[in-house]
Amino acid sequence: MIVTRREAILGGVAGATLAATPALGATSLPSKRPSVGARRFTSRAVEREIARVSAKIGDPKLRWMFANCYPNTLDTTVRLRTVDGAPDAFVITGDIPCLWLRDSSAQMTPYLHLAREDAPLRQVFHGLIARQARSILIDPYANAFMEDPSAKTDLSWSLSDKTDMKPGVAERKWEIDSLCYPMRLAHGYWQATRDRAPFDARWAEAARLSIATFRVQQRKDGPGPYSFLRKSDRNIETMPLDGYGNPSRPVGLIHCGFRPSDDACLYPFLIPSNLFAVTALRELAVVAQGARGDSALAQDATALADEVARALAEHGRMRLRDGSEVWAYEVDGFGNAIFMDDANVPSLSGLGYLGCVPANDPLWLRTQAAAWSPANPYFFHFPVRREKELPSYGFPFSPAEVERGRT
């Protein structure tokens, strides 16, 4: 039986939850971190932060959870080495030994505020930004990569995909946010440290390729080079119309193959991801200008952000049955739209967390409220809990609850 990445993650989460649950009535909660010698990377700043925050948490179980969870990325997923005289950091996603552009960026984000005071931690960020740039240059349409750039994928669910699988690519699902997250990480690192070291010529080349890929996927002059077919008993694992996706009318929005949950888009203009692209492109412009003095790159990123923002204002909204105006989840440019929300990020309800909208924006507040209501067909309401489900599996997925709590 072929197991997809989603099934592997969900199974791992369930197992980890059971394994980490202490016995009822336990008064002492043992650490679940690897032994010091088995940790992949240790940061003094992170260890100090664990002690600082833990001292402010009164609940023993919450304190235990924080002390175990906060350093987990560094403890278990970072592989730091030197390539061509510069840092290279390969950050695997959980128990799958591959690097996802989205995941690796999000995994390292909680440490950004500590990077200025910790030189070894800056090396990890430098190495990850460099690894992401090299990965994008291998294939800007890929979402996941192998540690060895010359290796073929060994992910069971990707072995038979009909798409242009290049060496070094682990999975090739085109998701807009896969290119947005490295822009966001670069901006966060630059804002936190003002360290120019990671932003070399290769990084700028990857940034230019990212912008060019977004422009191609506006599909003003045809479908472009990307297509994807996968043999599966779930239609959300593959793309319709011979792998190019459902029809869209060129309106300035960016065409997307898959949602951040890895489900195929119904309508190809995924609004949360297009909104994220606007934000990420503006952040890229800040880094290009500030870290490199590259006005041309900054202007190119800003111009595309402005164009997509105008298209979103014209084509990205819809009205619900009660007449209220909200952001649509997906549209096709022909006037068709769906309202729902995905449990992963970017999502409609997570736009505030990503900084795509002001926290008090009335349009977003209406959209978020609708996403957490029966207006969203994938909304679950229990007596003491509300959740959003994954359309592909039909049960709640907790990242949505986390993002809602943060906004």
Tokens of 136: 């994008």
> What does the alpha-carbon distance between residue 276 and residue 210 come to, in Å, rounded to a whole number?
14
> What does the alpha-carbon distance between residue 372 and residue 387 come to, in Å, rounded to a whole number?
8
Tokens of 178: 């896969």
Question: Distances in Å between the alpha carbon of 347 and those of 80, 82, 258, 396, 402?
Answer: 31, 36, 13, 15, 12
Ranges of the chain with pLDDT below 70:
1-27, 381-407
> What does the alpha-carbon distance between residue 76 and residue 33 come to, in Å, rounded to a whole number?
9
pLDDT for the residue numbered 358: 97
User: What residues contact residue 138 under an 8 Å CB cut-off, 6+ apart?
Assistant: 145, 149, 166, 167, 168, 169
| CA quadruple 305, 310, 311, 316: dihedral, nearest 10 | 100
> What does the alpha-carbon distance between residue 109 and residue 341 come to, in Å, rounded to a whole number?
24
In terms of Cα–Cα distance, which of 165, 149, 225 is closest to 157? 165
Angle CA 185–83–294, to nearest 5: 45
Asked whether the bond before 346 is cis by omega within 30 degrees of 0, the reply is yes
Q: Which residues pair with 387 in a beta bridge?
A: 380
Neighbouring C-beta atoms of residue 230, cutoff 10 Å? 21
Check the CA dihedral 389-159-143-304 and report its sign.
Answer: negative
> What does the alpha-carbon distance between residue 73 and residue 94 come to, in Å, rounded to a whole number?
8
In terms of Cα–Cα distance, which of 83, 332, 100, 300 is closest to 210? 300
pLDDT for the residue numbered 195: 99
pLDDT for the residue numbered 247: 97
Tokens of 37: 């010698």
What 3-state class would DSSP assign to 212?
helix
Residue for token digits 């800040």? 286
pLDDT for the residue numbered 23: 34
What 3-state class would DSSP assign to 145?
strand
In terms of Cα–Cα distance, which of 77, 89, 81, 86 is closest to 132? 89
pLDDT for the residue numbered 35: 98
pLDDT for the residue numbered 94: 86
pLDDT for the residue numbered 379: 85
Domains of the chain: 40-339 (1.50.10.10)
In terms of Cα–Cα distance, which of 187, 212, 191 is closest to 136? 212
Q: How many Å separate Cα 356 from the centre of its chain?
A: 14
Neighbouring C-beta atoms of residue 381, cutoff 10 Å? 10
What 3-state class would DSSP assign to 24?
coil
Give the containing element (helix H, strand E) for 337: strand 337-338
In terms of Cα–Cα distance, which of 2, 8, 7, 393 is closest to 160? 2
Whether the CB-CB separation of 315 and 331 falls below 8 Å is answered with: yes
Over the stretch 66-97, which tens digit does the pLDDT of each residue have?
999 999 999 999 999 999 999 999 999 988 99
> What does the alpha-carbon distance between residue 46 and residue 339 come to, in Å, rounded to a whole number?
40
What 3-state class would DSSP assign to 304?
helix
